[in-house]
Amino acid sequence: MIGYLILVHRYPDQFKRLFRAIYNAQNHYVVHVDKNSGADLETEIRDFLRPYSNADMIRSEKAIWGGYSLVDAELRGMERLLEMGEWSHFINLSGQDFPLQPQKQIMAFLEVNADREFIKVLNQDMDRPDTMHRVSEYVIELDQSIQRTARSRPFLTDATPYIGNQWMIVTRAFCEFVCGDPSVDRYKVFYENTLIADEGFFQTVMMNCAIESEIISDDLRMIDWIADGDIKLRPRTYQHTDAADLKASTNLFARKFDQTVDGEILVVLERHLAKQAATHVDRPRAVPANAAVPVALEGTAA
């Protein structure tokens, strides 16, 4: 069973298609609607979820790009899912993601990878030194933006910063640890004032603390990163011309999609999922041999 957190900030109809594509009565679902999106979106989604006893919403808060508010939403989503019932893995999605495999295949994959964390992980100082300003510069999250300051600070004592991206498939045990273990508190306090905290907080906790599971540096998402001005990379919006590549992918999910740009690709993927489910086609996702990373580096345990 899976615990899903879906982060939504627009396109309620597209969210509903995503929800139907990932729905299974054995799973649990929690949705967070960005408060910046307005009450109408939250009301529409709440009404849609009402018939589903295994789905719930957490309190809407403003989710500011680059701010700790995104980490806070993830943690609150994990906490609510832990309260709802049993599941083995947590998966976070945006409302503009879409699955590439049916739920039964995804659940079967996770069953044979029960003690693995799937999350992109890089040593930030060694592999992404260009991003070290994110943790060295003290920033303040305001109501609508991030205020950068001239104040700098050292990283946490006896810890190493890590970086990846926001998306992950992690075990229930990790969710319980990151939500409730006192050793994580200092990371929460520190990352409240870092830039783009959602791309480093969970990796840093996982790599510096006593996590027993194996960490795989792969989030199982198909994403085509492209350059975009000051934001160095952003995910390209998939269209119907990408259908063959998406259907051939062994990843579990892809992002991103925009039905106002190209809704045909969602129709193609919905049919693809239905065909896979009906024919029981099983294409297990192979874990890359070089994807595993050390659970913790010597001298960095919290």
Decide: 177 and 184 in contact? Cβ < 8 Å: yes
Nearest to 197 by CA among 146, 157, 256: 146
Of 289, 283, 217, nearest to 250 (Cα)? 283
* 59-117: pLDDT as tens digits: 999 999 899 999 999 999 999 999 999 999 999 999 999 999 999 999 999 999 999 99
Q: In this model, does residue 229 exceed pLDDT 70?
A: no
Question: Is 296's pLDDT higher than 70?
Answer: no
Structure confidence at residue 233 (pLDDT) = 82
> What is the C-alpha to C-alpha distance for residues 4 and 18, in angstroms, rounded to an integer?
12
Q: How far apart are CA 209 and CA 203, in angstroms?
A: 10
| Mean predicted lDDT score pLDDT of the chain | 92
Under 8 Å between Cβ of 120 and 202: no
Is the pLDDT at 298 greater than 50? The verdict is: no
Going from the C-alpha of 77 to that of each of 3, 32, 71, 213, the distances in angstroms are 9, 8, 10, 21
Q: Is the pLDDT of residue 301 over 60?
A: no
Nearest to 236 by CA among 255, 263, 261: 255
The residue among 2, 5, 6, 4 whose CA lies nearest residue 26 is: 2
Q: pLDDT, tens digit, for every residue of 126-170?
A: 999 999 999 999 999 998 889 989 899 999 999 999 999 999 999
Each domain of the chain, given as residue ranges in start order, spans: 2-293
Fold of 2-293: Spore Coat Polysaccharide Biosynthesis Protein SpsA; Chain A (3.90.550)
Beta-bridge mates of residue 216? 118, 292
Instruction: Give the integer Cα–Cα distance in Å for 75 and 105.
Output: 27
Alpha carbon distance, N-terminus to C-terminus of the chain: 31
